[in-house]
Amino acid sequence: MRKFCVAGPVVAADHYHIPPLDRVNLDELLGLVRDKTYFVVHAPRQTGKTSALLALRDLLNAGGDYRCVYADFEVGQAAREDTARAMRAMLGELARRARVTLGDDTPDRLRGAALETEGPDGALTDVLFRWARADPRPLVVLIDEIDTLIGDTLLSVLRQLRAGYDQRPAGFPHSVILCGVRDVRDYRIHSTAQDTLVLGGSAFNIKSESLRLGDFTEAETRALLAQHTAETGQAFSASAAAAVWTRTAGQPWLVNALCREACFKSEVGRNRSRAIAEGDVLDAQERLILRRDTHIDDLARRLREDRVRRVIEPILAGAGEQAWSEEDIAYLRDLGLIAQDPGGAPHIANPIYAEVVPRHLNAAVQAGLPHERAWYVGADGALDVEGLIADFQTFFREHSEHWVQRFEQYREAGPQLLLQAHLQRVVNGGGVIEREYALGRGRTDLLIRWPQGGRARKFVVECKLRRRGLERTIAEGLAQTRGYLDRCGAESGHLIVFDRSPERTWEEKIFRRDPAADGAPITVWGM
């Protein structure tokens, strides 16, 4: 039985999959190879890059016009900047792949002498030169995980490829594809040997193109789900299929991991006589987030980087000011952490990542908060959202200055993160919080889903920064909250206005306004 693929390249016999070469512009790829170009394919982790490279390798070899070898240069990462040790590992990887893929032991015979005579900074050039000349068929080399290499090791590989470029195709590879998370131009390589920063574009200025492998389209996402239905007879309800698409925005690992969790890891989901429902997908999402698989953990780890913080913090805070550069945006887009709207404004790439980011940032704070959940939940199972926010208002007045400092790099978004930590500790194990961020509009939208009596009750909590007059801020916030209420079908809403001005007293900042008798059921809270 085939399953959803969550680790490694897809294997057609084992995995539901979209044919890898259907996800790329194959005519463009083959044209670049025919034109003897050296180019880059990049995409976020676990998007399908390796599967696409292996499929391209097999296609080129099947045609008989080329010799094509794929090699994973991550084997050199452990050596860090010990270039000699790393080069031995990478040439060994190249030799093994040539032997297995082509039955060619030429690189194996050449590598020892090349390392001895040319040293680590010339051995790759020498092996590729002699290997290209050993057979009249053009040699194509696909190098995966190039950006896992570190410092002088990465510089050595890039410069050796550049050194032999003018001898192609008879005396060097006809075409080389470098594959990684980022484009070569975005590499900031610190050379310990030279004690300087070297830009990837200058170390590898022979690159002609940079191609990005995208996420699944909605049609591809649904096609993947349809393969499971065709093979097992288990359907996805219309709302479940829609949830898979909207929660993941087509990120390939998330699509596969979410469906694997819902269809194979859940006891309920393994019952093939019932369709996968939207609730199954949301439950699977929560388990994925809590389990923090490597994909999720790697994403969370990036949040401590300054260039990531410069983009993510204003998104979380809904701030209008930003201090990021175009390079910061490109870096986060390459990581797959953000996407951009038609106007160029960044947003967190999908709702699952939008959950992961604040939970990771407020995890330590949440653990330190008192966990008194019982009184927020009534005997009938109802969640007292009003009491929960009132309690936070008191806590925020008394302790916010101390607790916001705990967010370290993300202090500007501290009040919103502290509120989310307060809500999350209560909702965990019972309901779900969904988040939306509105960059430049000074707001964060939270939707609490709380199960009670066989149905999900919904409550909106909107956080807004006071940046102008109070009444104008409240008027804007009420309009936004009403719109969110209508869109989500929630029964009531709470607008929280955070006032960060040091000039105003707590007596001015703290207030509560109950819903108007003839208005929407929205309570306004000042903090």
Distance of alpha carbon 296 from alpha carbon 423, whole angstroms: 22
Q: What are the strands, taking DSSP E only, across 213-362?
A: 338-340, 346-348
139 and 258 in one domain?
A: no
The answer on 164 and 271 residing in a single domain is: no
Q: Rounded to whole angstroms, how far apart are CA atoms 273 and 320?
A: 50
Task: Choose among 176, 145, 100, 210: nearest CA to 8.
Answer: 145
CA contacts within 13 A on the Cβ side of 253:
20
Look at residue 2 and tell me if it is in a domain. no
Q: Which of 212, 227, 257 is the last residue of a domain?
A: 212
Residue 8 lies in a domain: no
- Which residue type does 96 have? R
Same-domain status, 280 and 334: no
Total number of domains constituting the chain: 3
- Asked, for residue 208, whether it belongs to a domain, the answer is yes
- Tell me, what's the pLDDT at 373? 55
Whole-number average pLDDT of the chain: 91
Structure tokens at 366: 């949440």
User: Contact, 460 vs 446, CB < 8 A?
Assistant: yes
Looking at the structure, tell me whether residues 382 and 446 fall in a common domain.
yes
On whether both 375 and 271 belong to a single domain, the answer is no
- What pLDDT is attached to residue 137? 96
Predicted pLDDT at 167: 96
Co-location of 94 and 148 in the same domain: yes
421 and 469, same domain (yes or no): yes
200 plus 227 within the same structural domain: no
In the predicted model, is pLDDT for residue 419 greater than 80?
A: yes
Q: Which two tokens stand for residue 7?
A: 């680790």
- 290 CB neighbour count, 10 Å cutoff: 10
Q: How confident is the model at residue 432 (pLDDT cuts 50, 70, 90)?
A: confident
> How, if at all, do strands 139-144 and 15-16 pair?
unpaired
Comparing 22 with 455, the larger pLDDT belongs to 22
Q: Which of 212, 235, 254 is at the close of a domain? A: 212
Question: What is the reported pLDDT for 443?
Answer: 67
146-154: average pLDDT: 94
* Residue 221 confidence class, pLDDT cut points 50, 70, 90: very high
Residue 275 in any domain: the answer is: yes
Confidence category of residue 412, pLDDT binned at 50, 70, 90: confident
Indicate if the pLDDT at residue 33 is higher than 90.
yes
- Residues above pLDDT 90, as percent of the chain: 65
At residue 207, φ and ψ (nearest 5 deg) are -65, 130
Same domain membership, residue 284 and residue 189 = no
In a domain, 1, yes or no: no
Are residues 479 and 342 both part of a single domain?
Answer: yes
pLDDT of residue 429: 61
> Stretch 107-118: mean pLDDT, rounded?
97
d(CA 464, CA 497): 5
- Does the pLDDT at position 286 exceed 60? yes
What does the pLDDT look like over 247-264, one tens digit per residue?
Answer: 999 999 999 999 999 999
How high is the pLDDT of residue 291? Answer: 87
Asked, for residue 80, whether it belongs to a domain, the answer is: yes
Give the CATH number of the domain where residue 57 resides. Answer: 3.40.50.300
Considering only CA atoms, which of 275, 269, 280 is closest in space to residue 247?
Answer: 280
pLDDT score of 405: 78
Q: Which domain holds residue 414?
A: 318-348+355-526
- Confidence (pLDDT) at 441: 56
Q: Output the six-digit token pair for 481.
A: 């909250």
The pLDDT value given to residue 365: 76
Residue 305 lies in a domain: no
User: Are residue 197 and residue 283 in the same domain, yes or no?
Assistant: no
CA of 487: how far to CAs of 71, 459, 471, 482, 490, in Å?
49, 12, 24, 9, 8
More confident residue, 446 or 193: 446
198: pLDDT confidence band, cut at 50, 70 and 90? confident
182 vs 352, higher pLDDT: 352
Rounded mean pLDDT, 457-472:
90
- For residue 45, the one-letter residue type is R
Q: What is the pLDDT of residue 370?
A: 63
- Assign 439 to helix, strand or coil: coil
Task: Tell me the pLDDT tens digit for each residue of 355-407.
Answer: 899 888 888 777 776 656 567 888 888 899 999 999 899 989 988 877 777 78
Give pLDDT, residue 440.
Answer: 53
Q: At which of 157, 191, 212 does a domain end?
A: 212
Q: Does 145 reside within a domain?
A: yes
- Tell me: do 444 and 415 sit in the same domain: yes
